[in-house]
A and B are shown apart, each in its own frame.
Chain A
Amino acid sequence: MFKYFLKRLLWMIPIVLGVAIITFTLLYFTPGDPAYIILGSNATEVELENLRETLGVNQPYLVRLVKYLGDVFLRFDLGTSYSTKTSVTGELIYRLPNTLLLTIASLAISVLIGLPLGVTAAVNQNRLGDRVSMLLALLGVSMPSFWLAMLLVILFAVKLHWLPAMGVGGLKYWILPALSGSTGGIASIARQTRSSMLEVIRSDYVTTARAKGVKERNVIYGHALPNALIPIITLVGTQFGMMLGGTLILENIFGIPGVGSYLTTAVSSRDYPVVQGGVVFLAICFSFCMLMVDMIYALVDPRIKAQYEGKKGK
């Protein structure tokens, strides 16, 4: 198991390298002169040329790529922001906790509400409760999170004055962002849980459990649910990615100084080192999450664990 973990961890290196190469290449071929972007239209040609020299943007593609990769992988230096002149790595690490807090809170809420909701719906298939919760879930997956965020702001901040509309601070500042971030997650986890529970609930081993005299609650949560978890875990992994991406917009709406708002600002001001660094950085976070997902598979299903360990299972 541990060996497999290490192997996967090592495999992340070429992945992240690939992400760095791809983003660097994309942005390299993007039109726009960094020196011009930094100095603006008032700069003289000499000033511009000097700056190009300092930034090293005059050098050929391969030289710059190798230098960039060296900086990133050997010195963990993602470069310097054009607009603020500060270290991208430092800024990202400073902002990461906010982003992670929002993402993980949204994910936790999604699982804690979505999972039991889906199980209950499956157990009561086609009854009123199932119909109502699946209708709500359908609305939930269809609602753009940034619009929901604005609706929540209108209701709870503007009309009711219960919660702050934006900014960071205590718990109450996080309620609206986490709520808007998690609605889609709750809905899609509930839908996935329902459908994979429906499949599992008819299995013979669930009948075996009943025939043993296991209490119904335990039949569902102890015997059926563990078998229904694999596709749910997969979904939770992709939801993490979506929520991480979603922070790009939610952080903007709620004025949270996280990685997402840093990135979107950088995109509109053409601050390429930040964009590049941000993409690589978030890709690392996401890869870690997917690695965790793969590890959780093994905890849930002994057959997958056996596969990881290279034993021949049936």
Chain B
Amino acid sequence: MANTKTSTAKKKSHFRMVLRQLKKNRAAMIGLAIFLVEVAIAVFAPALMPYGYTDADYTALHQPPTARHLLGTDDMGRDILSRLMYGARYSLVMGLTSTAGAMFLGICVGSIAGYFGGQVDNIIMRILDIIQSIPGMLLTIALAAVLGTGVDKTIMALSVAGISGYARLLRANMLNVRNLEYIEASQSINCSKLRIIVSHMIPNSISPLIVTATMSVASTIVLAASLSFIGLGVQPPSPEWGAMLAGGRAWIQQYPHIVIFPGLAIMITVLSLNMLGDGLRDALDPKLKN
């Protein structure tokens, strides 16, 4: 009992240290701020939007940015700013839930491999080998083709495609942790294997996963947008950013603003998450600073 108490105390102070490091990192804080603002916009979109996201103004088609429509209008006269604000919901929900899903499933698979070891581990790893020999984008597209379109299906496709990365990472970390002394110590006081895994090995193997997850929310958002862009994710007229880009493609010659702004929205989101992820990585692994 005393053992777990001291180890959680230690973990807490480590966590606090990481947090303090992170707070000192200006870029990470800017990233976090941008991301939180976006989350707020997405949540309060209905109240904040100047127009409805489906409101078509046929007297104002393809308008470049004006005082009335700050980011202009699209081919059906819909206000791009309003659509982007509402569309943030799609990107953020898909990015966050798919990453969480992939991470959860990955941790399950990874710890099953780590827990049973031997033949089970071997079989799981070989299956992961097979899945990982398909480039990620292609796997996602294939899964999306099978599952169909729509937000829920896309989230499923993205989650499943992301499993192998997390599973492998967790298992590798568990193997590293397994040989450390405190695991031997808990074995020596007769902790059950399951307990060792759940309360010692997973918590201690997870911090690299957190950095990966932050970064992969970013890449998942891009992936989701790419799927919608080629018509496999969320379908128009939903104001998903990738779908908006796809819709604007036809007008690229005459009205480039229709594709510039949705892409900019994706990029700012991804940028903020990458800034946060970089900061998190430096905070967890300070040896690279200076």
| Chain A positions 10 through 25: 1 when the CB is less than 8 Å from some CB of chain B, otherwise 0 | 0000111011001100
- In the complex, whether B184 has a CB less than 8 A from a CB of chain A is no
| Chain A positions 132 through 148: 1 when the CB is less than 8 Å from some CB of chain B, otherwise 0 | 00000011011110110
Residue of B nearest to A285 (CB): B135
CB distance from A235 to the nearest CB of B (A): 13
- Structural contact, B136 and A154, CB atoms closer than 8 A: no
A195 to B285, CA, bound (A): 12
Q: Which of B212-262 contact A (CB under 8 A)?
A: 218, 222, 225-226, 229-232, 245, 249, 252-253, 256, 259-260, 262
- Structural contact, B133 and A287, CB atoms closer than 8 A: yes
If A198-B288, A249-B229 touch, does A263 touch B141 (CB 8 Å cutoff)?
A: yes
Contact among A16, A22, A138, A147 for B266, CB-based, below 8 A: A147
A271 to B48, CA, bound (A): 43
Residues of B close to A198: CB separation below 8 A: 288
A241 to B134, CA, bound (A): 8
Residues of B close to A120: CB separation below 8 A: none
A244 to B253, CA, bound (A): 28
In the complex, how many residue pairs between chain A and chain B have their CB atoms under 8 Å apart?
Answer: 129
A154 to B260, CA, bound (A): 10
- The tally of residues in A whose CB lies under 8 Å from a CB in B reads 49
Residues of A close to B256: CB separation below 8 A: 154, 158
CB distance from A249 to the nearest CB of B (A): 6
CB distance from A154 to the nearest CB of B (A): 4
A279 to B245, CA, bound (A): 26
- In the complex, whether A252 has a CB less than 8 A from a CB of chain B is yes
**Of B18-26, B108-116, B169-177, B268-276, which stretch is located at the interface?**
B268-276
Residues of B close to A282: CB separation below 8 A: 134-135, 138
Query: What would 11 A/B residue contacts be, using CB atoms closer than 8 Å?
Result: A14-B126, A16-B133, A22-B130, A23-B142, A29-B146, A143-B267, A153-B252, A158-B253, A241-B135, A245-B137, A245-B141
Given A26-B146, A267-B232, 15 other A-B contacts at CB below 8 A? A18-B129, A19-B130, A22-B130, A27-B146, A142-B271, A144-B270, A147-B245, A158-B256, A198-B288, A242-B136, A245-B136, A248-B138, A264-B230, A267-B230, A287-B133
Interface set of B (CB-CB < 8 Å, partner A): 126-127, 129-131, 133-138, 141-146, 218, 222, 225-226, 229-232, 245, 249, 252-253, 256, 259-260, 262-263, 266-267, 270-271, 274-275, 278, 287-288
